[in-house]
Amino acid sequence: MKNYDIHQHVQGKSIFIDDMRLPAGTLHAEIFTSNIAHGIITSIDTSAALASKGVVDIFSASDIPGENQVGGMIKDESLFAESEVHYVGQPILLVVAESKLEARKALSKIKIEYDKLKPILNPREAFIKGSLIAPPVTFELGNISAVWDECDFIEEGTVESGGQEHLYLETQAAAAIPHEGEKIKVYSSTQAPTATQRVVAGILGIPMNKVEVDVLRLGGGFGGKEDQASPFAAMAALAANKLNKPVKLVLNRQDDIRITGKRHPYSSDFKIGFSHEGKILAYEVKFFQNAGAAADLSMAVLERTLFHCTNSYFIPNVKATGISCKTNVPPNTAFRGFGGPQAMFVIESAIKKISEKLDVPAYMIQQKNLLREGDEFPYGQRAENCNAKKSWNEALSKFKYEERLQSINQFNLENKFLKKGIAVMPICFGISFTSTFMNQASALVHIYTDGSIGISTAAVEMGQGVNTKIRQIAAKIFSVDISIVKIESTNTTRNANSSPTAASSGADLNGKATELACLNIKERLLNSAKEILNADLSEIKIENGSIFVNEEKKLDWEELISKSFLKRVNLSSHAYYATPKIYFDKSKSKGNAFAYHVYGTAVVETTLDCLRGTYKINSVKAVHDFGESFSKTIDLGQAEGAIIQGIGWMTMEEICHDLNGRLLSNALSTYKIPDIHFTPDEFEVHFLEGAKNPMGIFNSKAIGEPPFMYGIGAYFAILDSMKAHNKNLDYDFKAPMTPERVLLTLSKNIKTKIHK
């Protein structure tokens, strides 16, 4: 099954916010932001800007009728800075003009002065200075202090992973239209319509029932529009509300990159104890998360880091501490994997260290420590239907790992400056929001009198194909042609109090709610058919758009619907789903946090040009646990896309700030993401067989995030290439492994040799 909108997409007919035909007289907004990382505003002069051609008004914090607050989990973030600014790019004013160009021109006429303060840019510095988002969080299993003595070896190390810019191709965007009775309708490119609705209501100081948020589709989200779409919607709404005119706010690329948060960079310390056979006995890890200037979703991201600190390994004694550090960069936020990738990079680095100590290939250590059925995670849940070993074994045999290893060794013997490397990357990722209450969704299903079906859910379509899956679910339950099922925009008036479409759970939660709603109606329809056809319920079947009694066709779908309508059968249903059996006690850091886990194993191969530092990802092959996928085309696309994005994070995507906290990689010319050349020559993702998942919709598993973490394998494959060039390579665990970093590391090692 293909993307629901694909026919429109290929014709350029799909509407994104900037493509909407808004009413005549729509105004355009641009944001004036701080250009220093930390300081106190001493004066602002907007007179020249206000007098500028086309400018209608300029808004600041003092124009906010409600509360100047956009924080979700912790109320620590203002919409517009009041006196202190905390990062370069922090919004201060909103300029509204008749055209975008006029609004932009006016920005340069605003005069501002600050008393500068020293910014904190590094999370460890923040930690030392006590600049934290919230107190540290610790997950513990076993008794770590008691086992260090039993370990044959103990290794320690530091691991750094960089941020990542979402670079959804559609930038943050919103259009707000005032309605009668102080109501406002906001079209927003948001993954979280309800959160956006709440923020808009809070800013305007009106109840949520006066704010309607509507989302048709997103040109990519990746987490960047989970918490961070709301401020832009609120700005547009504020201006629209004040001026009583429609207002559109579409960020340009540079502004979007500068203003919005990214994947959290982490700096981590680990200590790992193991036996001489490579069995891991104890793992202690401390994560210093660079949260940026406000909480945003950082604490939830940090928690997921702790949940996934042991990846797909069983370690009997674990102590993992997460510290969310407040710094003077834009508030970092959700990004595919949500803290999980950062955690997995650390444990994989620790395993690399063990392998070097014991002088055995890393995959042997990985293999020895894989999770088995019933093993306990550091948060107390036990591995159920565990596919860690299964996917590992299948991957290594299917992709002939030992043979590949030999041919790589041979290649490396024959080539001096071209070196091949290989790495295996297993993953284990928990599915559910780790804040248990968020695991709920609703669906509203209508069958119209002509038989056509309309469905509204809380899920936001952003390319992941959730609307297609929901269509499939309805078509399957009613056994009708999929073409008569339409998915509506995501709208807070139709589906209230929804969770964001995030945590890979959109299809699971909303799919289950859709299933329930459809089953409700189907039951009514069967009863109606029983009466219309005067038959026994057990004899009636709805199949392929027809109604049968004992295999004999009696009615068309359309006839059944219209007859049922006349019989006053309710053809609509609103259903609600909450994931059963999950809970998590935050005070103890224990609980059954996840409905299930997704497993898989990838093998990554690279070739490195040791003179230039450039590399090619030759091959990525994975055996992935999709559960029983009912949308293979979509799921495969998600897996491939996630893998490439994960490789991008680990290799080429580098976020750079100058010493004053100004972002240097602030455009596509300086921030590089994978292009088509980056596609591995050999790219295979296989469906793990026999991986039925009773907790997922139609036994499937969530797909959005887990494959992202296969990308970590690329880092270790490149490292393997580097070590093939210099076995005693002195290096740091630092990502991204850009060609520059490769070259600097290799040349640093050459120098030491010469000096000796």
Partner 1 sequence: MSKKKGISRRNFIKGVGTGVVGSYVVVPALNNKAAKNLSDNEELQLKEGWQVLSLKVNGKKIITKVKPNTLLVDLLRNELQLTGTKVVCNQGECGGCTIILDGKPVYSCQMLALDANGKEVTTIEGLLLGEELHPLQQAFVDEDGLQCGFCTPGQIMAAYGLLLKYPDPTDEQILNGMSGNLCRCAAYPKIIKSVKAAASRIK
Rounded Cα distance between 421 and 291, Å, is 34
Strand partners, 268: 159, 287
Minimum separation from the CB atom of position 622 to partner 1 (A): 13
Rounded Cα distance between 250 and 174, Å, is 6
Q: Which residue, among 207, 756, 165, has the nearest Cα to 496 in the 3D structure? A: 207
Residue (169 or 537) nearer to ligand FES, CB: 169
The tokens describing 332, both together, are 């970092």
Q: What part of residues 206-225 is at the interface with partner 1 (CB under 8 A)?
A: 217-220, 222
Per CB under 8 A, does 23 bind partner 1?
Answer: no
For partner 1 (CB under 8 A), the number of binding residues is 59
- Residue of the chain from 373, 450, 552, 675 that contacts partner 1 (CB under 8 A): 675
Active site residues: 705
The tokens describing 364, both together, are 């042997």
Per CB under 8 A, does 169 bind partner 1?
Answer: yes
Report what 25 binds from partner 1, ligand FES, none; CB cut-off 5-8 Å by kind: partner 1
Q: What part of residues 112-171 is at the interface with ligand FES (CB under 6 A)?
A: 169
Residue 712 parent element (H or E): helix 712-725
Q: What part of residues 651-670 is at the interface with partner 1 (CB under 8 A)?
A: 667-669
Half-sphere exposure of 312 (CA within 13 A, CB side): 31
Minimum separation from the CB atom of position 252 to ligand FES (A): 10
- Residue of the chain from 66, 220, 380, 591 that contacts ligand FES (CB under 6 A): 220
Residue 491 parent element (H or E): strand 490-491
Per CB under 8 A, does 6 bind partner 1?
Answer: yes
Report what 273 binds from partner 1, ligand FES, none; CB cut-off 5-8 Å by kind: none
Provide the angle, in degrees to the nearest 10, between the axes of the packed helices 506-533 and 557-566. Answer: 70
Per CB under 6 A, does 637 bind ligand FES?
Answer: no
**How far are the Cα atoms of 124, 310, 365, 553 from residue 350, in angstroms, in the given order?**
20, 10, 10, 65
For ligand FES (CB under 6 A), the number of binding residues is 3
Per CB under 6 A, does 566 bind ligand FES?
Answer: no
Residues counted in the chain: 756
> Which span sits near partner 1 by CB under 8 A: 230-238, 484-492, 569-577, 676-684?
676-684
The tokens describing 320, both together, are 């993992």
Report what 322 binds from partner 1, ligand FES, none; CB cut-off 5-8 Å by kind: none
Q: Which residue, among 640, 724, 721, 633, has the nearest Cα to 682 in the 3D structure? A: 640
Residue 203 parent element (H or E): helix 193-204
Residue 91 parent element (H or E): strand 91-97
> Which span sits near partner 1 by CB under 8 A: 20-28, 200-208, 270-278, 510-518?
20-28
Residue (169 or 656) nearer to ligand FES, CB: 169
The tokens describing 153, both together, are 């070896």
Per CB under 8 A, does 462 bind partner 1?
Answer: yes
Per CB under 8 A, does 321 bind partner 1?
Answer: no
Report what 637 binds from partner 1, ligand FES, none; CB cut-off 5-8 Å by kind: partner 1
Per CB under 8 A, does 252 bind partner 1?
Answer: yes
* Residues in contact with ligand FES, shown as a per-residue x/- string from 168 to 187 under the rule CB under 6 A: -x------------------
Per CB under 8 A, does 18 bind partner 1?
Answer: yes
Residue (516 or 644) nearer to partner 1, CB: 644
Render 85-111 in DSSP notation, one character per residue.
E-STT-EEEEEEESSHHHHHHHHTT-E
Minimum separation from the CB atom of position 441 to ligand FES (A): 24
Minimum separation from the CB atom of position 509 to partner 1 (A): 20
Per CB under 6 A, does 463 bind ligand FES?
Answer: yes
Q: Which residue, among 73, 17, 36, has the nearest Cα to 213 in the 3D structure? A: 17
Half-sphere exposure of 276 (CA within 13 A, CB side): 1
3-state secondary structure of 622: strand
* Other CB atoms within 10 A of residue 564 CB: 22
Minimum separation from the CB atom of position 751 to ligand FES (A): 41
Report what 21 binds from ligand FES, partner 1, none; CB cut-off 5-8 Å by kind: partner 1
Give every CB contact of residue 676 below 8 A, 6+ residues apart in sequence: none
3-state secondary structure of 541: strand
The tokens describing 218, both together, are 């997103």
Rounded Cα distance between 436 and 442, Å, is 16
Residues in contact with ligand FES by CB under 6 A are 169, 220, 463
Residues in contact with partner 1 by CB under 8 A are 2-3, 5-16, 18-19, 21, 24-25, 98, 166-171, 217-220, 222, 252-253, 462-465, 633-634, 637-638, 640-645, 648, 667-669, 673-679, 683
